[in-house]
């Protein structure tokens, strides 16, 4: 089961307002998840005195942008879905956001000290994961860091049942991967892992959640 980037963008375009209204902030995140974001930001803070430049890649409706800013980062966002970006601009007008794919991020090489990928590789099939991580690496400065959060496990499944109950006639495929598989992909694409969280699901989650932080080599 797979979907193209255009398919994924179309689903998030259709679901943007529902998604943004349902997840306006980090209420669903556990403190330990946010501790990983704080750790990531603290690694970046060591890079420069004016606050690190951080891209929220796959920012959706932008709910992680204020989290990054509160940790002292100069944060901007990019997302595949133009409608999610529209909601990010509406809900978080203080932040620059652009439309773009992980594989062709609309920024020059070496622009950022850090890239946050908060559940934005979860619709990327294994055969395209390397291209997504290479796209993230391209916009990082040497020595910069990436944080990748995702549902751990194996296989692919349609996760749109909730959206269909709300009246949207869509399918949305989520690709699960083990933390080891993600670590291998990071290493194969020029990153060295520096931190890892794997935690059990907290209802209504049904899968282990994983967060990896890696340094651009
Ligand atoms: C589960 S949502 C998470 C959004 C946001 N990070 C959050 O936590 O609220 C996944 C987001 O990743 C975006 N996305 C999926 N594939 C992408 C890609 N290849 N490039 C950029 N964004 C992508 C989707 O459009 C969607 O907004």
Over residues 47-62, the pLDDT tens digits come to: 666 789 999 999 999 9
Check residue 48 and give its pLDDT: 60
Residue 2: what pLDDT? 76
Q: Tell me the pLDDT tens digit for each residue of 6-41.
A: 999 999 999 999 999 999 999 999 999 999 999 999
pLDDT for the residue numbered 50: 72
C-alpha angle with apex 184: 133 to 12, nearest 5 degrees? 40
Confidence band, pLDDT 50/70/90 cuts, at residue 160: very high
Q: What is the pLDDT of residue 47?
A: 62
The secondary structure of the chain, three-state, reads: CCCCHHHHHHHHHHHHHHHHHHCCCCCCCCHHHHHHHHHHHHHHHCCCCCCCEEEEECCCCCCCHHHHHHCCCEEEEEECCHHHHHHHHHHCCCCCEEECCHHHCCCCCCCEEEEEEECCCCCCCHHHHHHHHHHHHHHEEEEEEEEEEEEECCEEEECCHHHHHCCCCCCCEEEEECHHHHHHHHHHCCEEEEEEEEECCCCCCCCCEEEEEEEEC
Question: Residue 90: its pLDDT value, please?
Answer: 98
Nearest CA to ligand 1 atom 10: 120
CATH number assigned to the domain comprising residue 191: 3.40.50.150
Mean pLDDT of 125-130: 97
Whether 1 has a pLDDT exceeding 90, the answer reads: no
Ligand 1 neighbours (beta carbon < 6 A): 5, 8, 12, 23, 58-60, 63-64, 79-81, 84, 101-102, 118-120, 123-124, 132
Atom of ligand 1 nearest to the CA of 23: 9
What is the number of the ligand 1 atom nearest to the C-alpha of 56? 6
Average pLDDT in the chain = 96
Model pLDDT, residue 133: 98
Q: Above pLDDT 70, what percent of the chain?
A: 98
- Are 149 and 33 in contact by the 8 Å Cβ rule? The answer is yes
pLDDT recorded at residue 46: 61
CA-closest residue to ligand 1 atom 15: 120
Mean pLDDT of 42-50: 75
How many CA atoms are closer than 13 Å to the CA of 5, on its beta-carbon side? Answer: 18
pLDDT given at position 49: 66
Q: How many CB atoms lie within 10 A of CB 151?
A: 19
Distance in Å, CA 180 to ligand 1 centroid: 22
Domains in the chain, number: 1
- Statement: residue 45 has pLDDT above 90: no
Q: Which domain holds residue 152?
A: 5-216
Average of per-residue pLDDT across 50-79: 96
Q: Is the pLDDT of residue 114 over 70?
A: yes
User: b or e along 109-144 (b: 16 or more beta carbons within 10 Å of the residue's beta carbon)?
Assistant: eebbbbbbbbbbbbbbeeebbeebbebbbbbbbeeb
């Amino acid at each position: 089961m797979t979907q193209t980037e255009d398919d994924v963008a179309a689903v998030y375009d259709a679901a943007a307002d529902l998604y943004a209204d349902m997840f306006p902030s980090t209420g669903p995140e556990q403190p330990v998840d946010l501790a990983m974001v704080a750790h990531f930001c603290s690694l970046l803070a060591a890079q420069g005195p004016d606050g690190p430049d951080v891209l929220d890649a796959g920012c959706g409706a932008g709910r992680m942008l204020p989290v990054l800013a509160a940790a002292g980062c100069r944060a901007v966002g990019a997302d595949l879905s133009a409608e999610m970006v529209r909601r990010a601009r509406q809900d978080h007008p203080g932040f620059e956001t652009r439309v773009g794919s992980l594989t062709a991020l609309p920024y020059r090489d070496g622009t950022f000290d850090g890239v946050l990928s908060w559940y934005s590789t979860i619709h990327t099939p294994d055969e395209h994961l390397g291209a997504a991580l290479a796209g993230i690496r391209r916009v990082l400065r040497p020595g910069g860091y990436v944080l990748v959060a995702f549902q751990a496990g194996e296989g692919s499944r349609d996760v749109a049942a909730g959206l269909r109950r709300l009246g949207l006639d869509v399918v949305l495929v989520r690709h699960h991967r083990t933390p080891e598989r993600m670590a291998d992909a990071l290493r194969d694409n020029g990153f060295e892992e520096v931190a890892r969280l794997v935690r059990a699901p907290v209802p209504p989650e049904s899968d282990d959640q994983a967060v990896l932080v890696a340094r651009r080599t």
